[in-house]
Amino acid sequence: MTPDNATTANCGICAIIDRIKAGNFHDHIAELPGCYVILGDRQYYRGYCVLLSKIHATELYLMTAEDARVLFDEVRLVAEAIAAVVTPWKMNYECLGNSEPHVHWHLLPRYETDELRRGPIWMRAESEQKVSLEENDRLALIASLRTEIAARCSRAIVK
């Protein structure tokens, strides 16, 4: 794993990473060897997290196979950690990069109560997805996710 610690100008995800490094991103959950984990802004899907690759690559296939594998192992363990906290009906995984040209994974817990659960999350209006959590709830959710991530990755930095 050879993370490129230099962030790239004009990339929204590199900008978030710069804020995380500066301690200025309040939804930061954990740093893993290959990525940063943040709480997403669509908490209609409670527990929704995004993994931001430490490497500014526009496509998975432009990363080395080893770097992509490290990232995928982290996707898998963070998904398991999220599931331990929110016990979803199903976990959805999306790696798109159409808006921001930097590999990132969306981990989206789906729930039985969602009448659109058999389709992709994007079927639901964005305004309905963008639910903010009450502050104490948000902090408690982040704390629980940190505990479950740390239990699965000894190299996780959770602070």
- Tell me which residues touch Zn ion (CB under 5 A): 8, 11, 13-14, 56, 102
Comparing CB distances to Zn ion, the nearer of 36 and 48 is 36
User: Shortest Cβ distance from residue 11 to Zn ion (Å)?
Assistant: 3
Closest C-alpha among 105, 96, 87 to residue 47: 87
DSSP assignment of 9-57 equals TT-HHHHHHHHHHTT--TTEEEE-SSEEEEE-S-TTSTT-EEEEESS--
* Sole residue written with tokens 């959590």: 133
User: Shortest Cβ distance from residue 5 to Zn ion (Å)?
Assistant: 12
Comparing CB distances to Zn ion, the nearer of 6 and 125 is 6
Q: Rounded CA gap, 50 and 37, in Å?
A: 6
Q: Rounded CA gap, 78 and 128, in Å?
A: 25
User: Shortest Cβ distance from residue 62 to Zn ion (Å)?
Assistant: 12
Q: Rounded CA gap, 16 and 94, in Å?
A: 19
Comparing CB distances to Zn ion, the nearer of 102 and 106 is 102
User: Shortest Cβ distance from residue 54 to Zn ion (Å)?
Assistant: 10
User: Shortest Cβ distance from residue 93 to Zn ion (Å)?
Assistant: 20
Comparing CB distances to Zn ion, the nearer of 55 and 145 is 55
Comparing CB distances to Zn ion, the nearer of 10 and 127 is 10
Query: Chain centroid to CA 70: how far?
Result: 15
